[in-house]
Structure 1
Amino acid sequence: MSAAGQGSSGNVIAAVCSFFIPGLGQLVQGRVFKALIMFVLAAVLWIVWLGWIIHLWSIVDAAMFRTRD
């Protein structure tokens, strides 16, 4: 049995990490490619003031992540 399921404390920590830096939560979860996508999209879109959308998506994605058993 794994504690890495949706709603676990690991996902809460990952969501908090993504709150501060988009993609950091995905990186903490070991999802390097997804972390890079989130970080780059947020950085590019913050230039036109839409980065908050990716920022919020990053937080929700980290919180809702489920490992495949």
Structure 2
Amino acid sequence: MKPTYGVPAIFSFFIPGLGQLIKGQILKAFLIWALGGAIGFLLAWTLIVPFLIWAWNVYDAYNSPA
């Protein structure tokens, strides 16, 4: 049985993409790590864009189907 709601969101809260990974969404987890990391690094000076990427990651881990 795959975790579907709270556990993936908690994992993604601390490590972006981990919630998607434990749900079995390997490609989405990789894209969060690669694109989110690159965009977050390049736009870290804004503080808003990395926060939005992180917030979307937690939201997606909670709401996406397993």
TM-score by length of 2: 0.77
Match of 1:65 in 2: 64
One-letter code aligned to 2:32: M
Q: Write out aligned runs for 1:1-69 (5 A).
A: 10-47=4-41, 48-49=43-44, 50-67=49-66
- TM-score in terms of structure 1 length: 0.74
Aligned-residue identity in percent:
31
**In the alignment, is the contact (CA less than 8 A) between 1:41 and 1:51 conserved in 2?**
no
C-alpha change, 1:63 and 1:17, in structure 2 (3 Å) is same
Q: Give the match's secondary structure for 1:22.
A: coil
C-alpha RMSD of matched pairs (Å): 1.8
Question: Gapped runs of 5+ residues in structure 2?
Answer: none
- Residue 51 of structure 1 deviates from its aligned partner by 2.0
- Inter-partner Cα distance in structure 1 for 2:7 and 2:63: 12
Amino acid at match of 2:29: A
**Which consecutive segments of 4 or more residues in structure 1 shift more than 3 A?**
none
- Equivalent position amino acid for 1:28 in 2: I
Higher helix residue share:
2
Deviations 1:22-51 (A, max 9, x none): 111000101000001111122112211222
* Contact 2:20/2:26, CA 8 A, preserved across alignment: yes
